[in-house]
Amino acid sequence: MALMQMIYMSTLDTAAEPDLPAIVEKSVRNNAVHGITGMLLCAGGSVMQVLEGEAADLAATFAVIERDARHRDVFVLTHEPVETRQFSNWSMGYAQLSGVDLAGSPAVAEIFQGTPKEVMQRVKPGDALTVLLSFASGSLGIR
């Protein structure tokens, strides 16, 4: 079986934003059952999430995400095989980034600015992974 990693972004429905902690809590349980690891960052209604797992489990999880009406404009930044998990500590890490967090980290803020089309054209997969790994390690100074 192939271990895969996917990074995607989407726009969260404004009515769903207050429910995000509960959604993440449910995802933690579901992901643990299916061997999915990763993390989610949310800022200003935009979501960036990395998921890791066996190809079939990852495809099934992402299919559920794509059908979820609580967000729209879902697009994949990267989907590729990996040798090892980079987010193995979390079945789903999560942070809601504030305007203060984003002001202190222009590289992160840039990822969450613009329309989905603009973000797709501007944000390189390596940049998204770097931000996610930096957040996971605590080196962004945002918690």
pLDDT at residue 69 in the model: 87
pLDDT at residue 125 in the model: 72
Mean pLDDT per 10-residue section of the chain, whose length is 143 residues = 91 75 85 91 89 96 91 91 90 82 82 82 83 79 52
60 domain residue, yes or no = yes
Rounded distance between C-alpha atoms, residue 2 and residue 54, angstroms: 6
The closest alpha carbon to 60, from 25, 33, 40, 42, belongs to 33
pLDDT at residue 43 in the model: 87
Rounded distance between C-alpha atoms, residue 62 and residue 60, angstroms: 6
143 domain residue, yes or no = no
27 domain residue, yes or no = yes
Question: Which residue segment(s) compose the domain that 81 sits in?
Answer: 3-137
Rounded distance between C-alpha atoms, residue 72 and residue 89, angstroms: 28
For residue 82, the domain's CATH number is: 3.30.70.100
142 domain residue, yes or no = no
How many distinct structural domains can be found in the chain? Answer: 1
pLDDT at residue 92 in the model: 78
